[in-house]
Structure formats: structure tokens, C-alpha cells
Amino acid sequence: MNVRRMNPGDLEKAAELEEICFSDPWTYEMLSESFENTLYRFFVYEQDGQVTGYAGMFKALDEGNIANIAVFPEYRRQGIGEALLAALIDEGRKEGLSRMFLEVRETNYPAVALYKKLGFTEAGYRKDYYHDPEEGAKILTLDL
């Protein structure tokens, strides 16, 4: 099993992943603050001593809101994103949450395909939710 809970020593890699993968990345400080927040859960994927991906969610009442999931480009399409998402879903189940929830850029086809592969379905749409570039968000949910 290459998925493990994130620890403070992984925060720099997570910030690097954010910088590479998103136009509005979480900074090291944002990640560090969330990591200290007891409502957040973070996991990383480690191969040969290298962190190649990370994912996080926060709990809001009985829902798990997936906040981030990212894999370094050279390690994509090897099942890492799926393993990380499965870890978040498993965590949600263990913690007795009713459902998982997330927003995703409507044209982020790899991410939408990943979520749908693990059973998420479309529950709504938020117009102009994202900036840089401006784009709508699909809202996806999974009943646990």
C-alpha cells in the first residue's frame, strides 16, 4: 500500500504539486494551516521514497468535501489518483460520513473521469465558479 497519511514533512511537496497543477494554488502556509485543522484529512502517495501525489478533504457536518487531489504529471495514468481518491472515500466511510462532495472545472476531463470511475455522479453546476481561466464547476457527489 503506497497511500499513507500526510505528515508535516510532506507539506513542501504538496505545495509543489499545487504550484504545478493549479492556476490558483494553495500555498505552503494554506496547506500548513489546513493540516493543523482537525476537520481536514490528507493523504500522500509515496513510491521509492518520493511523494508523487497528494489529496485532501475536510469534514462539514456529515459530508466530506474533497478539497484537493493532484499527481505529478510524469506519474499520471498509473492509478495514483485513483488510490488517493479511494483512500479519501474509505476515510469518509470509516468516519461515518453520509456523502462525499466536490467541485471540479467542467473541462477537467481526467478528473471528472476519475471521480465517475469511483462512483461520483453529477449533482449540480456552478456557473463562472472558477477564474483564470473563467469556467463553471460541476458539483459531484457520492453517497457513502
Ligand X SMILES: CC(C)(COP(=O)(O)OP(=O)(O)OC[C@H]1O[C@@H](n2cnc3c(N)ncnc32)[C@H](O)[C@@H]1OP(=O)(O)O)[C@@H](O)C(=O)NCCC(=O)NCCS
Backbone angles phi, psi at 89, to 5 degrees: -65, -45
CB closer to ligand X, 3 vs 38: 3
Is residue 125 annotated as a catalytic residue, yes or no? Answer: no
Shortest reach from residue 77's CB to ligand X, in Å: 5
Q: Does 114 bind ligand X (CB under 6 A)?
A: yes
CA max distance for the chain: 41
Q: Which of 29, 113, 121, 125 binds ligand X (CB under 6 A)?
A: 113
Shortest reach from residue 36's CB to ligand X, in Å: 23
Q: Which residue is nearest to ligand X (CB)?
A: 81
> Which secondary-structure segment (H or E) carries 93?
helix 80-94
Is residue 115 annotated as a catalytic residue, yes or no? Answer: yes
Check: CB of residue 34 under 8 Å from CB of residue 72: no
Strand pairing category for 99-105 and 63-71: parallel
According to CB under 6 A, which residues from 9 to 68 bind ligand X? Answer: 21
Q: Does 77 bind ligand X (CB under 6 A)?
A: yes
Q: Does 104 bind ligand X (CB under 6 A)?
A: yes
Angle between helical axes of 28-36 and 11-21 (0-180°, round to 10): 130
> Which secondary-structure segment (H or E) carries 124?
strand 121-130
Identify the active-site residue in 54, 91, 103, 130.
103
Buried/exposed code over 87-119 (b: 16+ C-beta within 10 A; e: otherwise):
bbbebbeeeebeebbbbbbbeeeebbebbeeee
Q: Does 78 bind ligand X (CB under 6 A)?
A: yes
CB closer to ligand X, 41 vs 96: 41
Residues engaged in binding ligand X (CB under 6 A): 21, 69-71, 76-82, 104, 108-111, 113-114, 117
- Annotated catalytic residues are 103, 115
